Amino acid sequence: MMFLGSKEYTKDLDLVVTCQNDYNSVIEALSELNYSSDKPTCGMDRVDLSDTQIKDRYRIDLFNTKICGQLQLSDSMKQRAQKRFESEKITLYSCAAEDIFLLKSVTEREGDTADCNRLIQSTVNFDWNCLIDEISIQLESNKGIWITYIVEKLMDMNFDRRFPNVFDKIYTFEEKYLNKWSEDFEKEHHK
C-alpha cells in the first residue's frame, strides 16, 4: 500500500513465498538479522499465518504458499505484481491494489477495513472486473469459506449501497458456495 501511495506507514510487512525452499531461506535470513518467531496476534484468526517474525518494533507476517490459509498467489496476481527490488539473491514484488484489497478483505485484523477503503479511494481506475475475475480464479482452485469473509467485510464497508453492482456479483459467488456447501452437507448426512 505504501508503494501504491495508499498508506504513509505500516505496522507490518506481509510477505508471501511460493515454495518451501524459499520459505526456509527467508526464515534463515531473518534469523541472521535477529528476527524471532512470534505467535500471531489478536485478530489474526482467519489469517492462518505460517509465521510472524519480530525484531524490536518491526513485524513480518510470513505466508508459505497459501495466504490466509486458502488463497494463493495466482498466476494472474503474479502478472499484475510490480517489481520493487532486485538483488543477486532476491527479487521483491508488490501486489496490485485489487489483489491487496482481496487479501485484506478476508481478514479480521484491525485496520484492514480502513485499508480496503483507502485502496479504493487512492487507486485511480480501481479495476472492479479484475477483482471479480480474481475471486473467480481463487474459487476455482480454493473452494472455501473465505468468500463469506469477503461478503461480511463488504457489508461492513456498506458496499451493498456504495457499489451495488460489484457487491451483487461478489454476493453471487457466496450464494453458489453456500448452496454447494448445503448440498454436500445434506448428501453426507443422508447416507
**Domain span at 48:** 13-189
- pLDDT grade for 83, boundaries at 50, 70 and 90: very high
Q: How far is Cα 35 from Cα 37, in angstroms, rounded to an integer?
A: 7
| In contact, 131 and 101? CB cutoff 8 Å | yes
Written as nine digits, the cell of 127 is 479495476
Count of structural domains within the chain: 1
Residue 5 lies in a domain: no
Please, which residues have CB within 8 angstroms of residue 154's CB and are 6 or more apart in sequence?
105, 160, 167, 170
Structural domain includes residue 6: no
Question: In this predicted structure, what is the pLDDT of residue 47?
Answer: 52
Evaluate whether 74 touches 137 at the Cβ level (below 8 Å): yes
Residue with cell 527479487: 91
Asked if residue 2 belongs to a domain, the reply is: no
Task: Work out the burial of residue 75: count CB atoms within 10 Å of its CB; fewer than 13 is exposed, 13-18 middle, 19 or more buried.
Answer: exposed
Place of cell 461478503: 151
Answer yes or no: is 4 within a domain. Answer: no
On whether residue 1 sits in a domain, the answer given is no
Q: How many residues does the chain have?
A: 191
> Under 8 Å CB-to-CB from 147, ≥6 apart: which residues?
135, 139, 170, 173, 174, 177
Spatial separation of the C-alpha atoms in residues 124 and 52, rounded to whole Å? 32
* pTM to 2 decimal places: 0.84
Q: What does the pLDDT average to over 48-58?
A: 83
Beta bridge partners of 62: 15, 51
Q: What local confidence, expressed as pLDDT, does residue 156 receive?
A: 87
pLDDT digit string (tens) for 95-115?
Answer: 999 999 998 888 877 788 889
Q: What tens digit of pLDDT does each residue of 1-32 get?
A: 888 888 887 778 888 888 889 889 999 999 99
pLDDT bucket at 142, cuts 50 / 70 / 90: confident
Q: Is 7 part of any domain? A: no
According to the model, what pLDDT value does residue 191 have?
A: 65
